Amino acid sequence: MIIAPSLLAADFGYLARETKRASASGADWLHLDIMDGHFVQNISFGPSVVATVRPYSKLFFDIHLMCSKPEILLEPFAKAGAAQMNIHVELGDRVPDLLWKVRSLGKKVGLAINPPTSISHVQPYLERIDSLLIMTVNPGFGGQAFIYETLPKIEQAWHWRAQKNLNFNIGVDGGVDFKTVADCAHAGADTFIAGTHLFNLRSMKAGVKKMRKIAQENAPIFEASAPPVPTV
Ligand code: DX5
Ligand code: ZN
C-alpha cells in the first residue's frame, strides 16, 4: 500500500515546512500536481518549486503532469528531482513517445486517466508503465467530491493486471478520505493520493497510519475477495 499526500493541499506560504511534515508522516510518496492553465483550468507550480522543496524530503516524488505539452517539461522535472512522471492518456497518439521519453530519462513511468475517458484507452500501455493513475475527480482542483462511477475502472485495471501478470501500481487521485479509501482498496487500488484530507489533519502521521490500515483491511488479497469483473 502506498500513501501519497498531495502537496497541492499544502499551505503554499510554508512549502518547505509542509514538505517536511509530509515527509515525517510515514507516507511513501509525495504527489506533486503540475497544472498548466490549458490542459486544466488552473495553474499550480513548476520545476523550480519542485527543486526548492526537494532537499526537504527523501520521499519518492511522484509528478502528475496535467499539461498539454509535457514534452517540454519532462527534462526540467527530471532534473528538479522527479522519481516518477505521470502523463495523461488523453494526449492520444503522443502517449507512446511521452512514455518512452520518461523511461529514457531514467524515471518511473506513470499514466493518468480522467473520469470521462474509457479505461480501454490505457490497455495498450499496461506493459510499459510502472503506475496507473485513475483520476477519481476531474483534474484541476483539490478538495472535490469523489466520483463513484470511476470504481469499475479500478476493478478492470486490477483484473487486467492479474490476467497479464503485471505489477504496475493502481493509484487513485482525488477525493480520497477515510471512507473512499476503503471503496478504492476494495475495488483493487493500492496507491492512494490524498491532498485536502491528509493536509487538513492536525496529525498527518496519524492520518497516514489510519489510511494505510483501512486500505490494507479492504484490499482484495484473497481470491474470494477479488473485485467483481466490471462491465465497462
Ligand atoms: C486534482 C489533483 C489531485 C489533488 C487531490 O487535480 O490531481 O492530486 O491534489 O486533492 P484532494 O485530495 O484534495 O482531492
Ligand atoms: Zn494529482
pLDDT (0 to 100) of residue 123: 98
pLDDT tens-place values along the chain, 232 residues long: 999 999 999 999 999 999 999 999 999 999 999 999 999 999 999 999 999 999 999 999 999 999 999 999 999 999 999 999 999 999 999 999 999 999 999 999 999 999 999 999 999 999 999 999 999 999 999 999 999 999 999 999 999 999 999 999 999 999 999 999 999 999 999 999 999 999 999 999 999 999 999 999 999 975 556 777 776 6
Determine whether the shortest distance from the Cβ of 25 to ligand 1 is under 6 A.
no
C-alpha cell at 202: 492536525
Asked if residue 61 lies in contact with residue 50, where contact means CB atoms within 8 angstroms, the answer is: yes
Report the residue among 173, 176, 179, 200 best suited for mutation to probe ligand 1: largest number of ligand atoms under 8 A from its CB.
173
Beta carbons of 155 and 170 less than 8 angstroms apart: no
Rounded-to-integer distance, Cα 51 and Cα 47, Å: 6
**Model's pTM, two decimal places?**
0.96
CA 67/CA 73 separation, integer angstroms: 9
Report, as residue numbers or ranges, the catalytic residues: 33, 173
Cα angle, residue 125 at apex, residues 123 and 130 outer, rounded to 5°: 115
* Cell 503485471, residue located: 166
Tell me what pLDDT residue 221 has. Answer: 74
The pLDDT value recorded for residue 227 is 79
Is 174:136 a contact under the CB 8 Å cutoff? yes
Per DSSP, the three-state class of 139 is coil
Name the strand (E) or helix (H) holding 88. Answer: strand 84-88
Measured between alpha carbons, how far is 215 from 184 in angstroms, rounded to an integer?
A: 8
Q: Which ligand sits closest to the CA of 86?
A: 2
pLDDT of residue 229: 78
145 lines ligand 1 (CB under 6 A): no
How much is the pLDDT for 107?
Answer: 98
Give Cα 15 distance to the centre of its chain.
Answer: 20
**Closest to 1 measured CA to CA, from 118, 172, 115, 161:** 172
Ligand 1 atom 7 nearest Cα: 139
* Ligand 1: nearest atom to the Cα of 195: 12
Q: How far apart are CA 42 and CA 221, in angstroms?
A: 38
Dist. CA 33 → ligand 2 center (Å):
5
The pLDDT of residue 228: 78
